[in-house]
């Protein structure tokens, strides 16, 4: 479904906060100690967008955003968001959060700083962090659910050495009442094979059995887009690691220096976007496709 003025902010609605006018993706974390061999973040974030702001600046900037635009739904991303719980906890005093995390943070610290109802958790299962077994990871999720946190989905990456175990882990995730988001790997390599093009035919077959077929074309490449426009920049935005504000975290041409005190000004209308492939997976709801425009 494409974006329409009648359904202005699909992510805020899905997150249970239709009163929020804006969804903001914030690539804010430049730290992670997990050491996953397939990490897609690599050094790109810190190299291209070095963090040039303090926690105090970030808190001031989000307070100013709340004064200007009201509360937002913020996606906390980048490297590991759980490395910065005090900052996250302070920011969601005025906003709501969706946190992408490897789920290794101390749960007592998390629960002290961030109350249920303020945060949706999107944990990723990185098997090497859990002794290559999923039970303790799922047990931790259940403890959070018992405390009232919303944990709807678990992500896993199609890393070749783990491929044989993914179907069973997916079954355990589904049996626990969660959705499973299994995705191919990008910007990484295994035994000299750059993924996703470097998946062997056998691996490719396994990937296709695990990943929703509508998402990708034959060689695990996202289907090319032919968009009329995109409402990212109009009803959603991206803050990159260097603190600048852009329409999303892929189209990073700065529209202002968020951490430097600039007020965020959104576009009055959705604008065209000429990307062939949109890597902002969660921003699909903001895209306006040719057919949506024609039938409006
Ligand atoms: S937990 Fe995420 S950010 Fe950290 S190393 Fe693993 S993939 Fe990279
Ligand atoms: S289509 Fe994707 S890359 Fe383009 S503006 Fe929208 S979210 Fe950003």
278 lies in a domain? no
65 lies in a domain? yes
Ligand 1 centroid–CA 186 distance in Å is 13
Ligand 2 centroid–CA 178 distance in Å is 28
Instruction: Find the CATH number of the domain harbouring 207.
Output: 3.20.20.70
28 lies in a domain? yes
Please give the Cα distance from 12 to 16 (Å, whole number): 6
Q: How many CB atoms lie within 10 A of CB 130?
A: 17
Tens of pLDDT along the chain (296 residues)?
578 888 889 999 999 999 999 999 999 998 899 999 999 776 565 666 678 899 999 999 999 999 999 999 999 998 999 999 999 999 999 999 999 999 999 999 999 999 999 999 999 999 999 999 999 999 999 999 999 999 999 999 999 999 999 999 999 999 999 999 998 898 789 999 999 889 999 999 999 888 876 555 555 555 667 788 999 999 999 998 889 999 998 887 888 999 999 999 999 999 999 887 787 778 888 999 876 554 44
Is the distance from CB of 282 to CB of 75 less than 8 angstroms?
A: yes
Q: Which helix (H) or strand (E) holds 100?
A: strand 96-101
pLDDT, position 278:
81
Atom of ligand 1 nearest to the CA of 29: 3
pLDDT, position 222:
59
pLDDT, position 296:
41
pLDDT, position 197:
87
Selection from 179, 142, 182 nearest residue 163 by Cα: 182
147-181 core/surface letters (b: 16 or more CB in 10 A; e: else): eebebeebbbbbbbebbeebeebbebbeebebebb
284 lies in a domain? no
For ligand 2, which residues put their CB under 6 angstroms from it? 227, 230, 232, 247-248, 250-251, 273, 275, 278, 280, 283, 286-287
32 lies in a domain? yes
179 lies in a domain? yes
- Supply the range of the domain harboring residue 72: 18-222+233-268
Q: Is the pTM of this model over 0.75?
A: yes
Domain total for the chain? Answer: 1
Pocket mutation for ligand 1, best pick of 33, 36, 77, 78 (most atoms within 8 Å of C-beta) = 36
Is the distance from CB of 154 to CB of 123 less than 8 angstroms?
A: yes
143 lies in a domain? yes
Pocket mutation for ligand 2, best pick of 230, 235, 282 (most atoms within 8 Å of C-beta) = 230
81 lines ligand 1 (CB under 6 A): no
pLDDT, position 43:
58
258 lies in a domain? yes
């Amino acid at each position: 479904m494409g974006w329409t003025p009648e359904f202005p902010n699909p992510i805020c609605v899905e997150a249970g906060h239709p009163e929020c006018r804006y969804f903001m993706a914030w690539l804010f974390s430049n730290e992670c100690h997990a050491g996953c061999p397939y990490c897609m973040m690599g050094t790109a974030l810190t190299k291209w967008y070095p963090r040039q702001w303090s926690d105090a600046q970030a808190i001031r900037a989000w307070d100013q955003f709340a004064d200007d635009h009201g509360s937002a739904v913020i996606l906390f991303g980048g490297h590991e968001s759980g490395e910065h719980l005090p900052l996250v906890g302070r920011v969601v005093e005025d906003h709501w959060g969706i946190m992408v995390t490897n789920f290794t943070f101390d749960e007592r610290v998390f629960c002290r700083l961030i109350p249920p109802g303020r945060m949706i958790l999107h944990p990723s299962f990185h098997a090497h962090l859990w002794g290559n077994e999923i039970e303790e990871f799922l047990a931790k999720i259940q403890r959070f659910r018992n405390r009232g946190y919303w944990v709807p989905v678990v992500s896993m990456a199609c890393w070749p050495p783990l491929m044989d175990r993914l179907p069973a882990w997916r079954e355990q995730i589904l049996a626990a009442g969660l959705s499973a988001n299994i995705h191919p790997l990008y910007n990484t390599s295994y035994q000299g094979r750059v993924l996703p093009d470097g998946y062997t035919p056998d691996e490719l077959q396994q990937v296709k059995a695990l990943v929703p077929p509508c998402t990708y074309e034959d060689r695990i490449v996202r289907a090319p887009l032919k968009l009329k426009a995109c409402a990212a920049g109009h009803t959603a935005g991206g803050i990159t690691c260097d603190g600048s504000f852009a329409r999303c975290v892929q189209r990073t041409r700065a529209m202002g220096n968020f951490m430097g005190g600039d007020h965020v000004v959104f576009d009055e209308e959705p604008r065209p976007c000429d990307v062939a492939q949109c890597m902002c997976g969660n921003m699909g709801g903001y895209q306006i496709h040719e057919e949506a425009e024609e039938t409006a």
